[in-house]
Amino acid sequence: MTLWFVFALMTVAAIFAVLLPLGRSGRVQDQGSEVAVYKDQLAEIERDLGAGLIAAPEAEAARVEIGRRLLAAAGSKPAVEPKSSLKWRRAAAVLALVGLPLVAIGVYMPLGSPRLQAFPLAQRERGSGSGMAQSLENLVAQVEQHLEKNPTDGRGWNVLAPVLERLGRFDDAARAFRNSLTYNGESAERRSDLGEALSAAAGGVVTAEAKAEFERAHALSADDPKANYFLGLAAEQDGRKDDAVSIWRALLAKAPADAPWRPLVQSSLARVGGGAMPALSDETVAASKDMAEGDRNAMVRGMVERLATRLKQNGDDVEGWLRLVRAYLVMGDRDKAVGASSDARQAVANDADRLRQLNEGLKTLGLDG
Amino acid sequence: MIAESGHYALVLALALALIQSVVPLIGARLRDAALMNVARSTALAQLLFVGASFVALVMLHVNSDFSVANVYENSHSMKPLLYKITGVWGNHEGSMLLWVSILALFGGLVAAFGNNLPMSLRAHVLAVQAWIASAFYLFILVTSNPFLRIASPPIEGRDLNPVLQDIGLAVHPPMLYLGYVGFSISFSFAIAALMEGRIDAAWARWVRPWTLMAWIFLTLGIAMGSYWAYYELGWGGWWFWDPVENASLMPWLAGTALLHSALVMEKRNALKVWTILLSILTFSLSLLGTFLVRSGVITSVHAFATDPTRGVFILLILCLFIGGSLSLFAGRATSLKQGGLFAPISREGALVLNNLLLTVACAVVLFGTLYPLAMEMLADFKMSVGAPFYNLTFAPLFALLLLAVPFGPMLAWKRGDLLGVTQRLLAAGVAGLVAVAIAWGWATGGSTLAPLAIGLGVFVIGGAVTDIVERTGLVRLPFATVLHRARGLPRSAWGTAFAHAGLGVALIGIVCETTWNSEYIATMKQSEVAHIAGYDVKLDGLFQRQGPNYREMIAEFNVSRDGETLSVMTPSKRSFTTRGSSTTEAALLTRGASQLYISLGDATAEGAIAVRIYHKPLVLLIWWGPVLMAFGGVLSLSDRRLRVGAPKPARAKPRLQPAE
């Protein structure tokens, strides 16, 4: 309500500014004229002459010239004195009283948002009781703010880093993991988390920097599964497929049977070892063994379709696209493979790194020259 | 509350501007004093409301109210207070609000202090001012509204472009806008004169302070922008012939021409039509600059956001005002009375030459700016017009202009004596030649033109000194008389001398910097030493530091000369988390007018860092020159006296002094 009151006051002030001069008769003496300027100029010549800045003949010439202009100006002075026309003044007053508020409201209403509350920093810090959604981003922002002020809070970095990684802010995540390492001390797990963030930031490529982190993690604890998995991946990406196979085999051999990452390693192994079906875990393969040929194909097709739908929703996953293309090729559906690869290019077209990675992957599949 | 009040104040300003653009004109037609006076009160009220709107936006930024989209997009709660305030105009919407605030400020000033104006002229001027204001209020409200809100406000803002988080943002844009927009006053005066069909020496008297003020601010604004680019962008360059820089240079060139032709008009009642045309052109070029920068036609640091509707809108405003004013000019110019006569060799003649050279130079810059754009748009052919083009075209024009500068103020009005002036400039000429000889002997390498250009600069400075010496009679008269005359000399004469000397100073700086700067670019390790221009620069080490909203890596350099330690320089690289970008903060060591400049590149894994070290001889003269020019302008502005150009009588004794 106060807002509308303020608006009304402002409008009244604006109207008043227009009405004020209309009420007065208008002081005619409150203005200058050319005649005054020329008279001043004449006076100026006398002063210059007195100060010795100009000589007498020049002063005389100037006086003649200005005198001529003065005469001309005085002659062209409007013969009619200022007058007042009441009719037009009334029209102007009506314009101010009616037109001005109409224009103001007419422009403001579609643009303004008078119902929205202000939300300054002070109020935010008091606790966001104003019904604002505490979204994940806002929480993250709060933690980040806290850490900007207290950068040595290792626990905070520990909490923040994986969240950042999940949000896709890989560079920030890598920085957070680094800080966590600095303030919480070395551990194989943190090293390999850092490596993972680094390679995620590089679009899935295990860069030299990331690899160094995994090697450090491996040195700290030879059994760290993440480090082993990514070292294998690095080997694969370097083209040392045999090394990758041996690293992953060793990893699987030591792994507990219920390790959640087992299927991932197995499918990777299948990829490198030239397994016929992509992305099939042991369980699914085992399950499919007992099926009839037709059923098995149906199951595989179902999986491929699920993959295709997922990629349609989120096209950033280059590995996924490659898997899909490979799956189509294995199923002998070359047209679909070509279609999927062009879809993939479109999906990652904005990201040069991913596009390069995709193109390289497609080349190895023999789809592209 | 604050946001919506600010928004509504802006809307009210629009409504007032609409009334101000119609009612006073009707009043002038009917000669009704009350209706004409509506212009004054509405202009003042407009200033009040736009001012309130601007203050509201500043408060929103200071409070970090992220329910306002503009604040969310360009601010961050951790930003230092200064940058929260300057960030208000560090973005498109806010800078347009600053633009109209300054426009309203000038309108308000005319309304408040225009008592010496005839009433109908004042009414016309303020009405034209209101047309411009209405167009830009509409532009802001429709396409770039800074008060739009976000329904569910985010908790943190996206921060200001780190390059702009610098003290330069506090000074450069307001100065530049005061210059750009200040020329709207002379534009309004010109249009008012055309509408009234009346123009005379008195008109020039009234326009002078406004034009001069705008020119001073524009000069300082451009110089400041150039210095900012020099130390912030980290390449050590100070002028790139970037289209956006050209956009500010063009109004400056036209405005300088306007300043000089208005002088002729005020003193001698001549060049009236030309002065009107220049007033129109100067402001049109300001508008063109606004269009180029704000429409997104050009991408640069200055183009904060690009949006086609904005471009179309500004283009419309541009066509309306430039086209309208030029057609009005074409229709009415012939009816204006022509004024005083003068011989080709005279002060007037010299000022005509000055105008000619300045406008041609301006046209060259305009061509160089628009041609690549046109080519890109029409022929889809990307090209850039840079320093080589301007060195071939702009530089000779300016050399010619500078050669003529010392002659101008020494020629008599109406009919001058070129031979006599040349004799009196002999000393300055000799000084210039000596400078050429010294530069030739001392310099190693560089262009052969450089010593000549330095000689030219010295000649210009010498000419300015000679002018003052002649006017006060320093060598001929007893000292007491000289003092008396110096005191009696109009301040505008001193202003002319300072402004012209400033040109020479800037020229010397430009030549020295471009010809004899030396650079050292390498990757340095700790305690490695670089040798440049007689200095030994040793890298002491690299440190990390946490700033308020950035992290920075500082390199510490120990600078010594002949084994004697001079100073420690600490250039740094700042990385800003929120925008994920980084800036280089160059370190500068000033020795006299020369500077040592260090900026950092990327660090390598082994703890080494890429370093660029420049030695720039006499580089500061480049900016001292414009400061001198602006100082001359201030002197001239403070001179409240009227100007009379006393003509030289036909048969006069040859040694008479012309007066101001």
**Cross-strand pairs, B538:** B529, B558
Half-sphere exposure of A323 (CA within 13 A, CB side): 24
pLDDT value at residue B92: 87
pLDDT value at residue B299: 56
B657 vs A contacts (CB less than 8 Å) = 53-55
**Chain A to chain B Cβ contacts (< 8 Å):** 267
Question: Which is higher by pLDDT, A187 or A286?
Answer: A187
| CATH number assigned to the domain with residue range A154-274, chosen from the 4 options 1.25.40.10, 3.40.50.2000, 3.40.50.10330, 3.90.550.10 | 1.25.40.10
Among A52, A100, A141, the residue with its CB nearest the CB of B155 is: A141
pLDDT value at residue B655: 46
B26 vs A contacts (CB less than 8 Å) = 88, 92
Residue B510 binned pLDDT confidence (cut-offs 50, 70, 90): very high
Nearest CA in chain A to B198: A76
Among B16, B149, B647, the residue with its CB nearest the CB of A65 is: B647
Among A40, A54, A144, the residue with its CB nearest the CB of B642 is: A40
% pLDDT > 90, chain B:
49
Nearest CA in chain A to B137: A107
Among B1, B141, B659, the residue with its CB nearest the CB of A53 is: B659
**CB-based contact, A122 to chain B, within 8 Å:** yes
pLDDT value at residue B235: 79
CA distance B239 to chain A (A): 33
**CB-based contact, A87 to chain B, within 8 Å:** no
**What is the per-residue pLDDT across B110-155, written as a single tens digit (0 to 9) for each?**
999 888 888 889 999 999 999 999 999 999 999 889 999 988 787 7
Query: Do B65 and A45 lie within an 8 Å CB cutoff?
Result: no
B490 vs A contacts (CB less than 8 Å) = 53
Query: Do B2 and A26 lie within an 8 Å CB cutoff?
Result: no
pLDDT value at residue B97: 95
**What is the per-residue pLDDT across A57-100, written as a single tens digit (0 to 9) for each?**
888 888 888 888 888 777 765 545 666 778 888 899 999 999 99
Residue B439, H or E segment: helix B426-442
Question: Which of A106-120, B52-66, B542-556, B631-645 shows the lowest mean pLDDT across its residues?
Answer: B631-645
Question: Which is higher by pLDDT, A131 or A111?
Answer: A111
Distance from C-alpha of A117 to C-alpha of B600, rounded to nearest angstrom: 45
pLDDT value at residue B303: 52
pLDDT value at residue B306: 58
pLDDT value at residue B656: 44
Q: Per-residue pLDDT averaged across A167-186, rounded? A: 84
Q: Per-residue pLDDT averaged across B326-331, rounded? A: 92
Question: Which is higher by pLDDT, B502 or B488?
Answer: B502
**CB-based contact, A153 to chain B, within 8 Å:** no
**Cross-strand pairs, B518:** B615
% pLDDT > 70, chain A:
82
Question: In Å, how far are B147, B236, B342, B352 from B270, measured between CA atoms?
Answer: 48, 45, 8, 11
Task: Decide yes or no: CATH 3.40.50 for domain A285-364.
Answer: no
Q: Per-residue pLDDT averaged across A17-22, rounded? A: 90
Query: Do B15 and A14 lie within an 8 Å CB cutoff?
Result: yes
pLDDT value at residue B511: 92
Residue B211 binned pLDDT confidence (cut-offs 50, 70, 90): very high
**What is the per-residue pLDDT across B174-200, written as a single tens digit (0 to 9) for each?**
999 999 999 999 999 999 999 988 787
- Same fold yes or no, A154-274 and A285-364: yes
pLDDT value at residue B646: 67
Q: Per-residue pLDDT averaged across A350-366, rounded? A: 79
pLDDT value at residue B179: 93
> Residue B566 corresponds to which amino acid?
L
Distance from C-alpha of B438 to C-alpha of B83, rounded to nearest angstrom: 47
Q: Per-residue pLDDT averaged across B565-590, rounded? A: 87
User: B121: closest CA among B264, B25, B205?
Assistant: B25
Question: Which is higher by pLDDT, A216 or B51?
Answer: B51
Distance from C-alpha of A40 to C-alpha of A43, rounded to nearest angstrom: 5
Average pLDDT of chain B? Answer: 87
Nearest CA in chain B to A209: B605
Distance from C-alpha of B358 to C-alpha of A241, rounded to nearest angstrom: 72
> Residue A302 corresponds to which amino acid?
G
CA distance B559 to chain A (A): 33
Question: In Å, how far are A10, B238, B513, B620, B627 from B509, measured between CA atoms?
Answer: 53, 12, 6, 7, 13
pLDDT value at residue A126: 62
Question: Which is higher by pLDDT, A163 or B25?
Answer: B25
Query: Do A57 and B656 lie within an 8 Å CB cutoff?
Result: yes
Nearest CA in chain A to B4: A114
CA distance A193 to chain B (A): 21
Residue B660 binned pLDDT confidence (cut-offs 50, 70, 90): very low
pLDDT value at residue A335: 80
Question: In Å, how far are A51, A156, A194, A195 from A179, measured between CA atoms?
Answer: 78, 10, 10, 13
**What is the per-residue pLDDT across B431-461, written as a single tens digit (0 to 9) for each?**
999 999 988 888 776 777 889 999 999 999 9
Question: For chain A, percent helix, then strand, then coil, each to nearest 5?
Answer: 70, 0, 30
Residue A145 has pLDDT above 90, yes or no: no
Where do the structural domains in chain A lie, given as residue ranges?
154-274, 285-364
CA distance A192 to chain B (A): 20
Question: Which is higher by pLDDT, A203 or B96?
Answer: B96
Query: Do B485 and A17 lie within an 8 Å CB cutoff?
Result: no
**Residues in A 201-260 with any Cβ partner in B closer than 8 A:** none
Residue B394 binned pLDDT confidence (cut-offs 50, 70, 90): very high
Question: Which of A19-28, B64-73, B603-612, B618-627 shows the lowest mean pLDDT across its residues?
Answer: A19-28
Q: Give the single-character DSSP code of A98.
A: I
Among A2, A21, A33, the residue with its CB nearest the CB of B34 is: A21
Residue B475 has pLDDT above 50, yes or no: yes
Residue A130 binned pLDDT confidence (cut-offs 50, 70, 90): very low
Among A59, A83, A95, the residue with its CB nearest the CB of B31 is: A83
Distance from C-alpha of A327 to C-alpha of A346, rounded to nearest angstrom: 19
CA dihedral B231, B235, B237, B239 (to 10 degrees): -90
**CB-based contact, A185 to chain B, within 8 Å:** no
Nearest CA in chain A to B144: A111
User: B613: closest CA among B542, B526, B517, B541?
Assistant: B517
Distance from C-alpha of B460 to C-alpha of B523, rounded to nearest angstrom: 43
Query: Do B77 and A145 lie within an 8 Å CB cutoff?
Result: yes
pLDDT value at residue A274: 47
Nearest CA in chain A to B486: A53
Q: Per-residue pLDDT averaged across B282-306, rounded? A: 72
A309: which 2 tokens?
Answer: 């739908």
pLDDT value at residue B258: 94
Give the ipTM of the model, two decimals please: 0.85
Q: Per-residue pLDDT averaged across A301-324, rounded? A: 78
Residue B14 has pLDDT above 90, yes or no: yes
Average pLDDT of chain A? Answer: 79
Among A6, A69, A82, the residue with its CB nearest the CB of B5 is: A6
User: B279: closest CA among B349, B328, B340, B344?
Assistant: B328
pLDDT value at residue A30: 60
Distance from C-alpha of B94 to C-alpha of B649, rounded to nearest angstrom: 56
Where do the structural domains in chain B lie, given as residue ranges?
1-151+159-165, 167-408, 425-516+620-638, 518-616
